[in-house]
Structure 1
């Protein structure tokens, strides 16, 4: 296809031509020069009343298998042609790379795929920049999907809980149409995703994240404290640490601090107690080889965690993982750092506890196979020493002048024309550098998994027949959204599996309780029948609630002691833990046995079900996700068991940190 002919003055780097064909900005064109085709890129197009002129930047030509540059300008009058895909791929060095990460198509060239070198990602670093709402997280998720399919271990620092939807297949109709055009299929990665959080009250579907309390000593302890200490406080702290050893606990330090005579110790004690009470440090910490595992993406969900604590968690976690990687105790892995400007700010924009270890990872991580991905909407506020270490950059739409300037300062090969285009990039389009020697404009491929910015719509596929309006749920009257436990099976899946055309929907009232025993765990209680839910399709589970009004206070105390035995026990063993007379134990045991609380086998006793189920509740722990959504339903079950009764009952055995009402969706 002929686009036009070269006119006017040209150089070895640029030329212009009179447009007679359907030329577009960013199109690649070719011009014959001494029996070799030269590749160029249309940088800008101008039109007046009489003519249209395109301005092109020259890329080069292939000579003896190598990319060469022009040494003399192109001849005026030469024909400018639409460049063939083969020529573009040959000169740019773009080849199908089965071992690479497929990120998208060259803009305007659906036949030319763009791949990122996975070995390069793990040995070097990448930055992804865009203004808020223009596809940072979406692009990162595309990259994560590719890495998961290549079994690369991934750790994501996720301040806002955006990445948990990687578990589920994409259900966006527009994305599904695009996926077919890209030759891809929707897919969820639920088997590859593990989500951890220091706050499972907010992030109910997450596993509790516990950080190692070992070697929390000296400088590391100071970095773990959420506030900056004064010189006086530092002096007191160092004085106390000298009297302790590396195996001492935070409690040992607090005891030593109380012996100090300086009044400044009280503020310091309060700060250290605050850290201890966050319950993020533990001897039974989350294993490092569980966080970094081949084919697994570990999401560190920090939603609901205070900013100062987020910095502490990120510092401690990355410091431990980096040290383990240096010792080769864990595999090479890829670190994704969302909202990077909060964790590694430029000096003029504040300080962060996490900055030193992240700076070390960016400067030394490549030696140990630790690649990092830095994501930010404010590159001007990100530490320059870290962002300059990124050899691959993906830049989507950026409009803030300071951020545009920051991008142009660290992105290699970015031309003045391309810099001007950063604020005009279409949605889903990025400028990528580091793949080849030149910046590429790439159309990012659609996600295979569900996008985190899309609200859950349980019934978007078909209306439910004989629906009841939301305001029939009295406690949510006049509200648009109610808390729903996200079902594992969609209504369409149930329709296919059951063979039913008209599927009805039942809402089961439930409550999720965040409990603290030896460990922290969440359980969901069915308020229609009082069961601890184990089957999230039907709401069925194990009964554990019981009314203990038919026994005396003393008998109740003995029953509570009996509940602490994991196995059967004798009367003598029960007596040794109680404060009653031995003669009374037999009378109480006989009463509890007669009323069905205990059962006797020979000389041994055990607690009957459902009473013994209270001890098994930690094994009923769940990681279900709650989302607020509008819903249509056919039946609403009555909450026969009141949430306050359940809370009071559980309080006898566990510390209740939080409880939330919600609804479980069941199909029939």
Structure 2
């Protein structure tokens, strides 16, 4: 369809034409230039004296399947045609894979997809005023990521994302129009909460209290500490040899002769009673599980505690990713203005780690989505890291200024359009240099906000290293079996069958703990408590530890490990246990062979002088899709084992895994 002819001054970026057909603002047009058509877009139409003039931006053209910019201005007088759908799709490159976001506004036959590779290795923002559909749009994004097997972590302050478990039974006509089928992701959702009384349908979220750093401890306190209190904390941490847990820290502070200790102890005891930090924390590998979506439901939790949880959780996961202890994942943060506020609105406890993930996450395979209804209150440095932005209706002038300052391609004309966007339509940047207007598709699941093998391979630290995530994800989905962190045998099951002339060989997985020490690695069998020295046959030596000690017995034993030889009065002075109980506890530990009595003194049993370097192994676990016949039961707690080993050796890192055995 001919819309008119070019008139006036032209450039490689802009042109205008006299309208003779049915032209509308934001329509796409095509114009013949040299030997190919170029794509343009009408950005404004002005009418005077019965004449309409359309002002257009030049987008570009494709040659040999490569996107090109216009280098020579268009000739005046050339016909301007309404762009057909196939031409628009060809130039813009809207390929039919990735995240299906919706349809190009004004073109019901053009579907808009976001490139999965860009999503996984970059940052996204979803920006909107209250009631404009930000949570709905994020649900659309999350659904397709679940479909593609991407491990997801959702920080959900209001419990809105539980609805992903339920199919959409309302928008039947829209579902048909957008060629979408309603669906439930109940079997793909794992939901956790620090308070399961408020959120009874969730699993309990417990964070590790093992080896809390001094900075971790500082983040737990609601107010800024005095220099005296900071000094007390550092002194207590030093006395614990940097192996911090709440019990040990409270005991060390209680020994101090300074009244400033009491408020510190009171807060630490309060946090301990909340039961958020635990000796048996929720496994990070359980939270980040390929093919699963993990929701952290913080509904009913006060804001300051939410910040602490997000800080500790993201910090642990970030460190775990750097060591390849968990799979690459994508993190969605709702109400981002509360977790990483602009600095003149204060500093949240979670601000620092979110900034770090925004800047460095790409190197380690952590994607990030920032969602907010108050754009001006989100830290600009974090927003500016987002290469793809989904902007719904925003009317607050401060928020609009923040969008213009953080998002490329937003001019004064686009600012006006953002104010007038209808509910359900989004302005999407990052697909092209020019923003796209997209009608968001209906969700497959119910809306809850009403009033890689890319997942498993470590991403190279060099930012220039690009990978085909979509292809690898498809391969991951096609593989059979369960994705697990495994130490595999060097000889395959098939080869063993041939060598030993056996047919019915079973694959058995043994629960293990891979521990990285200062000089070597060791592998602990969590089924029988042995330290493994023969990976091929699973043989090991029994470690001498008892996980059934009471807290007081553990306290006495840990103090004894530092002293090696001691009297009852000497260990009493260190332990803060009642003197009337000290002999009973020592006698119990003697009866269990933890201590040996020598005259009036006691010493730690020589059996604890385990030379772990004699059991050094160099096999490292990695992620594999595993088919197996049996998983053996885990009888020992990983944190308890690490604490025990930490008494004799410096533990650098540890991860739970499985040892493949053939029987």
TM over 0.5: same fold? yes
1:94 deviates by: 2.0
1:212–1:284 contact (8 Å) kept in structure 2: yes
Separation in 2, partners of 1:249, 1:63: 63
1:292–1:333 contact (8 Å) kept in structure 2: yes
1:93–1:436 contact (8 Å) kept in structure 2: no
Aligned to 2:405, the other structure's residue is in SS state helix
Separation in 1, partners of 2:243, 2:70: 68
389-398 or 328-337, which deviates more? 389-398
Aligned to 1:223, the other structure's residue is in SS state helix
Counterpart of 2:27 in structure 1 is: 27
Counterpart of 2:192 in structure 1 is: 196
Separation in 1, partners of 2:94, 2:119: 17
> Which residue among 104, 113, 138 is the counterpart of 1:106?
104
1:115 deviates by: 1.4
Aligned to 1:191, the other structure's residue is in SS state helix
Separation in 1, partners of 2:213, 2:75: 72
Separation in 2, partners of 1:306, 1:19: 58
2:156–2:334 contact (8 Å) kept in structure 1: yes
Counterpart of 1:540 in structure 2 is: none
Counterpart of 2:474 in structure 1 is: none
Counterpart of 1:158 in structure 2 is: 156
1:124–1:371 contact (8 Å) kept in structure 2: yes
Separation in 1, partners of 2:87, 2:33: 14
1:107–1:441 contact (8 Å) kept in structure 2: yes
1:19 deviates by: 2.6
Separation in 1, partners of 2:136, 2:149: 20
Deviations 1:546-598 (A, max 9, x none): xxxxxxxxxxxxxxxxxxxxxxxxxxxxxxxxxxxxxxxxxxxxxxxxxxxxx
Aligned to 1:453, the other structure's residue is in SS state coil
1:443 deviates by: 1.4
Separation in 1, partners of 2:364, 2:16: 48
Q: Answer yes or no: is 1:50 the counterpart of 2:50.
A: yes
> Which residue among 195, 202, 205 is the counterpart of 1:206?
202
Separation in 1, partners of 2:163, 2:142: 12
Counterpart of 2:114 in structure 1 is: 116
Deviations 1:258-306 (A, max 9, x none): 2323222222222222211211011111111111111111100101001
Counterpart of 2:139 in structure 1 is: 141
> Which residue among 247, 255, 262 is the counterpart of 1:251?
247
1:309 deviates by: 0.3
Question: Any gaps of 5 or more consecutive residues in structure 1?
Answer: 456-668
- The 1:449–1:276 alpha-carbon spacing in structure 2 relative to 1, beyond 3 Å, is same
2:392–2:427 contact (8 Å) kept in structure 1: yes
1:225–1:312 contact (8 Å) kept in structure 2: no
Counterpart of 1:84 in structure 2 is: 84
Separation in 2, partners of 1:25, 1:39: 15
Deviations 1:196-244 (A, max 9, x none): 1111222121111111111123222112333322222112211222222
1:129–1:396 contact (8 Å) kept in structure 2: yes
Counterpart of 2:375 in structure 1 is: 379
Separation in 2, partners of 1:270, 1:299: 31
1:17 deviates by: 2.4
Separation in 2, partners of 1:248, 1:431: 49
1:121 deviates by: 1.6
Q: What pairs with 1:258-277 in structure 2 (closer than 5 Å)?
A: 258-277=254-273
1:226–1:312 contact (8 Å) kept in structure 2: no
1:438 deviates by: 2.9
2:43–2:55 contact (8 Å) kept in structure 1: yes
1:343 deviates by: 0.8
1:64 deviates by: 4.7
Separation in 1, partners of 2:37, 2:120: 36
Q: Answer yes or no: is 1:364 the counterpart of 2:346.
A: no
Deviations 1:341-360 (A, max 9, x none): 11111211101111111111
Separation in 1, partners of 2:112, 2:201: 35
When the two chains are superposed, the root-mean-square deviation of aligned CA atoms in Å is 1.8
1:225–1:275 contact (8 Å) kept in structure 2: no
2:167–2:444 contact (8 Å) kept in structure 1: yes
Deviations 1:373-415 (A, max 9, x none): 1111222222222222212111111222221111112212334
307-316 or 258-267, which deviates more? 258-267
> Which residue among 110, 126, 129 is the counterpart of 2:127?
129
Q: Answer yes or no: is 1:313 the counterpart of 2:309.
A: yes
Q: Answer yes or no: is 1:8 the counterpart of 2:8.
A: yes
Separation in 1, partners of 2:36, 2:412: 28
- The 1:152–1:43 alpha-carbon spacing in structure 2 relative to 1, beyond 3 Å, is same
1:128–1:394 contact (8 Å) kept in structure 2: yes
Aligned to 1:329, the other structure's residue is in SS state coil
- The 1:244–1:68 alpha-carbon spacing in structure 2 relative to 1, beyond 3 Å, is closer
> Which residue among 339, 342, 347 is the counterpart of 2:343?
347
Separation in 2, partners of 1:448, 1:149: 11
Separation in 2, partners of 1:373, 1:278: 29
Aligned to 2:362, the other structure's residue is in SS state helix
1:454 deviates by: 4.2
Counterpart of 2:511 in structure 1 is: none
Aligned to 2:282, the other structure's residue is in SS state coil
1:249 deviates by: 2.7
- The 1:253–1:34 alpha-carbon spacing in structure 2 relative to 1, beyond 3 Å, is closer
Give the TM-score of the pair, scaled to structure 2. Answer: 0.65
- The 1:399–1:454 alpha-carbon spacing in structure 2 relative to 1, beyond 3 Å, is closer
Q: Answer yes or no: is 1:418 the counterpart of 2:414.
A: yes
Separation in 1, partners of 2:236, 2:69: 67
1:310 deviates by: 0.3
Counterpart of 2:93 in structure 1 is: 93
Deviations 1:111-134 (A, max 9, x none): 222211222222221111111111
Give the TM-score of the pair, scaled to structure 1. Answer: 0.65
1:218–1:241 contact (8 Å) kept in structure 2: yes
2:152–2:332 contact (8 Å) kept in structure 1: yes
Aligned to 2:183, the other structure's residue is in SS state coil
Q: Answer yes or no: is 1:67 the counterpart of 2:63.
A: no
2:135–2:449 contact (8 Å) kept in structure 1: no
Aligned to 1:110, the other structure's residue is in SS state coil
1:122–1:369 contact (8 Å) kept in structure 2: yes
Separation in 1, partners of 2:281, 2:265: 24
Q: What pairs with 1:542-581 in structure 2 (closer than 5 Å)?
A: none
Q: Answer yes or no: is 1:38 the counterpart of 2:41.
A: no
Separation in 1, partners of 2:94, 2:25: 20
1:147 deviates by: 0.6
Separation in 2, partners of 1:328, 1:357: 18
- The 1:327–1:35 alpha-carbon spacing in structure 2 relative to 1, beyond 3 Å, is closer
Separation in 2, partners of 1:20, 1:188: 50
Aligned to 1:45, the other structure's residue is in SS state strand
> Which residue among 295, 298, 315 is the counterpart of 2:294?
298
Separation in 1, partners of 2:244, 2:189: 36
1:65 deviates by: 4.1
